[in-house]
Amino acid sequence: SPQGRSKKKSRKHQRFMERRALLEQKGLLSPRGRLGGPTPEVGLQTLTALTEANGTTAPRCDKVSKPKRIVSASLSPSASPDSIARHHSVLLSQGNGSSRRVRTSSLVLRPGKYVAIDCEMVGTGPQGRLSELARCSVVNYDGDVIYDKYVQPELPIVDYRTRWSGITKQHMKNAIPFKAAQAEILKILKDKIVVGHAIHNDFQALKYFHPKDRTRDTSQIPLLKKRAGLPIRANVSLKNLARHLLHKKIQVGCKGHSSVEDAQTAMELYRLVEVRWEKELAHSLPPRPPSPVTDPTADSSQYLDDQYWPTDLMASGL
């Protein structure tokens, strides 16, 4: 009957209060460690220590309630790419699948988390066949330039490749040494999601390998090729993607390419398919490891059960 259950619960509570008083007398539990108080951990650690000292281990409770998953509306600047992709995916699955929430939440990561890069190379070595870095430009999510410097190659320049690189002998007068530029650029790229077109060429010029899961290569996105109505397996240039999708002309004239313009264009293309691309990346990530099982002693309602009390305390006058 309800009255019988109430009496049984009252007796259990009384036993619990007596045991807690005993612990406080023995100095094993702080008087401030009340249930629901600010520091119940002291009592929990004491009970665990006493149980282990007796040679027994507190059993797990199958009825421990799982904590609710709370999806933050923002991510820290040091968030891993896996976290970013899953964050996009979770937000997409909420609020009727609206991409607006993803874009709003991503503002917290910009401009520091996303950058786009483009490098211009000149020819060194025998017959100028070796490509070395001569200019590097980095822009943020909004296309603002955060780095743009001319770089002096480590070997003498044989071919300036001005028609494509836009580099001339005049530019090298104020160029900085490669090692100095490399250190500056890699500091910017660290922990970033880096966007670029055929970006492996840029990393090769920098003598650097960026983590694949932090790299977004616009030359390798089927979404962009589909949107442009181009064959998925075709090698599409940045110039053609810009013409089809952004309706703008780049890399025109005889003065060569602009690494700033190319980096900005790559970022614009990424933004066209950002939400869907990140969602697909999130689905391609390996499954999450199972959540750790909550310690049953962390649930204060289990204190009342005899099984969690050491036998020496059970026999000491209670």
Work out the end-to-end distance of the chain between its first and last CA atoms, rounded to an integer number of angstroms.
27
Q: pLDDT by residue (tens digit) across 63-93?
A: 444 434 433 344 454 455 555 555 555 544 5
Please report which confidence band the pLDDT of residue 15 belongs to, taking 50, 70 and 90 as the band edges: confident
Q: What are the tens digits of pLDDT across the range 280-294?
A: 888 876 655 554 554
Whether residue 62 is predicted with pLDDT greater than 80 in this model: the reply is no
User: Can the peptide bond before residue 177 be classed as cis, meaning omega within 30 degrees of 0?
Assistant: no
Just give the CATH number of 111-284.
3.30.420.10
* pLDDT single digits (tens) 127-184: 999 999 999 999 999 999 999 999 999 999 999 999 889 999 999 999 999 999 999 9
- What is the average per-residue pLDDT within 8-14? 74
Q: Are 260 and 145 in contact (CB under 8 A)?
A: yes
Chain mean pLDDT for the chain: 74
Q: Which residues contact 287 (CB under 8 A, 6 or more apart)?
A: none
The phi, psi pair for 68, rounded to 5°, reads -70, 140
Contact criterion met (CB below 8 Å) for 201 and 222: no
- How far apart (Å, rounded) are the C-alpha atoms in residues 123 and 130? 5
Q: Are the beta carbons of 290 and 179 closer than 8 angstroms?
A: no
Range among 37-41, 144-148, 246-250, 257-261 with highest mean pLDDT value: 144-148
pLDDT surpasses 60 at 262: yes
DSSP string, 103-168: HHHHTTTTTTSEEEEEEEEEEESGGG-EEEEEEEEEEETT--EEEEEEEE-SS-EEE--HHHH---
CA gap 285, 83 in Å, rounded: 10
Q: Would you say residue 276 has pLDDT above 50? A: yes
Residue 248 makes CB contacts below 8 A (sequence gap 6+) with 242, 265
What pLDDT is stored for residue 57 in this prediction? 44
Least confident of 101-115, 126-140, 247-261: 101-115
User: Rg for the chain (alpha carbons), in Å?
Assistant: 31
Closest CA to 297 of 310, 311, 313, 308: 308
Q: How much is the pLDDT for 60?
A: 45
CA–CA separation, 42 and 57 (whole Å): 18
Q: Residues 172-229: pLDDT tens digits? A: 999 999 999 999 999 999 999 999 999 999 999 999 999 999 999 999 888 999 998 8
Q: What percent of the chain has pLDDT over 70?
A: 59
Q: How far is residue 108 from each of residues 73, 113, 140, 240, 267, measured CA to CA in Å?
A: 9, 9, 13, 32, 17
